[in-house]
Amino acid sequence: MHDKILILDFGSQVTQLIARRVREMGVYSEIVPFQSAEAAFRSMNPKAVILSGGPASVLEANAPCAPQAIFEAGLPVLGICYGEQTMCAQLGGAVEAGHHREFGRAFLEIEEDSPLFDGIWARGTRHQVWMSHGDQVLREPTGFEVTASTDTCPIAAFEDRAGHRFGVQFHPEVSHTPDGRTVLMRFLFDEAGLRGDWTSESFIEDSIRDIRARVGEARVLCAVSGGVDSSVVAALMAEALGDQVTCVFVDHGLLRKNEAEQVVRAFTEAFHPNLVAIDARATFFAALAGVTDPEAKRKVIGAEFVRAFEAHADELQGCDFLAQGTLYPDVIESGSPTAAKIKTHHNVGGLPDWMKMTVIEPLKWLFKDEVREIGRKLGLPAEMVEREPFPGPGLAVRILGEVTPERVAIVQEADAIFRDEIRAHDLHPGIWQSYAALLDVRSVGVMGDERTYQHPIVLRAVQSEDAMTAQAFPFDFRFLEHVANRIVNEVKGVNRVLYDLTSKPPATIEWE
């Protein structure tokens, strides 16, 4: 049994980063929506609780709040942003609408020494943090002491040291708060007394036990794409269930150039011989004909995957479960009970309600780097573990507008040139994800002294740790000019190349 920490989710888009930081320190954590927090708190029996940020205001009627039982239990509690505000309000303090909102970088003035700041922030010093709030604490609860402020937020941190209860208006979980990891560490180990005993090995052991208990003697269809997520799921399922697992690769025609052949070869030779490969290109293109809305594309693709599985039911020997490589960022962007939906991932909100198989997602609370580590422990080949993230809907979400074989071919060729040049210049180690996208517009150009009216290609490459935030990769301009020249000269139908400099947020990594 691991020490556990419960994270109450009030709807912040970065709640999952709290779990990420906690797990980096070897502490087992679970994220639970505030709506079901009471039952989760009683059944989980955590040793500490973190209250996340969120978009609501405690000044609203029926504002989200934490179960009072959490405060009555005497456990260590850390409230972050909205979590600080609701803790303040629920314990008798006061919150007001802020006269000056703080979004982004701010500077914290340390008013008093605090166990959370021990060794990093001394009284009377000033430090960079990241803020995202409108409301702010007006008066701390009785028994609490103010420990930090900013120029516009007089109570940016408070604490009840004897009760091990702390509130911070800033976000220690994001990288923009440079010492935030240490603040969380002080809470987890010094105040909550947690053990760092949750490792990739323990995750594998726990997952295998849970999979066996859930599946029993039933058969499992494991959807694989060749990417790290689905490959790790396949390895985990095979480790747990052996021959009860049949891996299925569906070629939907939306992969990168020559990738379908590479996936089948690598998978069968290096990893799992029990693979069924399905050529469903014709049915996917037929289903996507005339579809331009990105949400509709994802739902069409999710449904077609299931149809492909069911069309080959005889080969799959009556599978009762569908195992897939859903990760936590997929769940967050698809919308949770508390967080806003950014986009439906085909394997989360895109699966049809008529599907007969029961979905099993052993990685759904993990981040990409955690999955890679699990893959290494399971002995997967390096080319699988280190593969760049690739969306389940494939190039359909990199083609704005209708998806046709002709438009897919344009993206495949442009993407191949871009990625080949990245590897040739040894730039790939610093890039999280790179690709070419096709816009649903045309532009005027000149080729061979004649007018052209063709497509623009957008190149995108980002640096990231977890796909929840990302920055554009800073290519040398001459490199981009070289790639653009190759694409325009070698890819028919393209007369213009652009580079996307937008970070996430406000953009997402993919265009759709």
The DSSP result for 3-49, as a single string, is -EEEEEE-S-TTHHHHHHHHHHTT-EEEEEEGGGHHHHHHHH--SEE
Q: Clarify whether 81 is annotated catalytic.
A: yes
Q: Clarify whether 173 is annotated catalytic.
A: yes
Which one of 2, 81, 127, 140 is the catalytic residue? 81
End-to-end CA distance of the chain: 41
Burial of residue 148 (number of CB atoms within 10 Å: 0-12, 13-18, 19+): buried
Q: How far is it, in rounded angstroms, from Cα 117 to Cα 489?
A: 58
Enter the DSSP assignment of 113.
-
Element (H, E) at 473: none
Taking every pair of Cα atoms in the chain, the longest distance, rounded to a whole number of angstroms, is 80
The residue among 348, 365, 346 whose CA lies nearest residue 15 is 365
For residue 81, the one-letter residue type is: C
Q: What are phi and psi of 282, to 5 degrees?
A: -65, -45
Which one of 111, 159, 173, 373 is the catalytic residue? 173
What lies within 8 Å, CB to CB, of 132 at 6+ separation is 53, 81, 102, 103, 104, 171
Q: How far is it, in rounded angstroms, from Cα 142 to Cα 334?
A: 40
Torsion of CA 342, 344, 345, 351, to 10 degrees: 160
The DSSP result for 163-197, as a single string, is TTEEEESS-TTSTTSTTHHHHHHIIIIIIS-----
Q: Clarify whether 171 is annotated catalytic.
A: yes
Burial of residue 489 (number of CB atoms within 10 Å: 0-12, 13-18, 19+): exposed
Q: Which residue has 């001459």 as its token pair?
A: 478
Helices 368-377 and 200-215: crossing angle in degrees, nearest 10, is 80
Which one of 133, 164, 171, 346 is the catalytic residue? 171
- Where does residue 58 fall: left (phi above 0), alpha (psi -120 to 50 degrees), or beta otherwise? alpha
Torsion of CA 363, 365, 366, 371, to 10 degrees: 0
Burial of residue 243 (number of CB atoms within 10 Å: 0-12, 13-18, 19+): exposed
Taking a C-beta distance cutoff of 8 angstroms, is the pair 252, 286 a contact? no
The catalytic residue positions are: 81, 171, 173
